[in-house]
Amino acid sequence: AVALLRIAVAAADAIPVDGAQRKEFVLNAIGLLFDEVADWCIPTLAWPVWLIVRPAMRQLLLMIASGAIESLLPLVRKVAA
């Protein structure tokens, strides 16, 4: 899983924009991926609970992704150098 994150961060680092725009682009992509995939992963019986906790889970995922980008980007750049 960490190797996949490193590949994703290295790919994001190759986007030719400045850091803040790059991070915003990546977080938007992660949010879109969550919106497309998350509902399919929840069993039908759990839908009532899922509808309540979904917004909080999305925010939690975006915060985790933001932290992962910040922590893995220096590692990826150091390995590439």
How far apart are alpha carbons 71 and 81 in whole angstroms? 17
- Distance set, CA 68 to CA 10, 26, 53 (Å): 12, 11, 22
Q: What mean pLDDT is predicted for residues 17-37?
A: 88
Higher-confidence residue of 77 and 42: namely 42
pLDDT band at 8, cuts 50/70/90?
A: confident
Task: Report residue 46 as tokens.
Answer: 């759990």
**Structural domain harbouring 49:** 2-80
pLDDT exceeds 90 at position 56 = yes
Give the pLDDT score at 1: 62
Q: What mean pLDDT is predicted for residues 8-13?
A: 78
Give the pLDDT score at 80: 63
Q: How many domains does the chain have?
A: 1
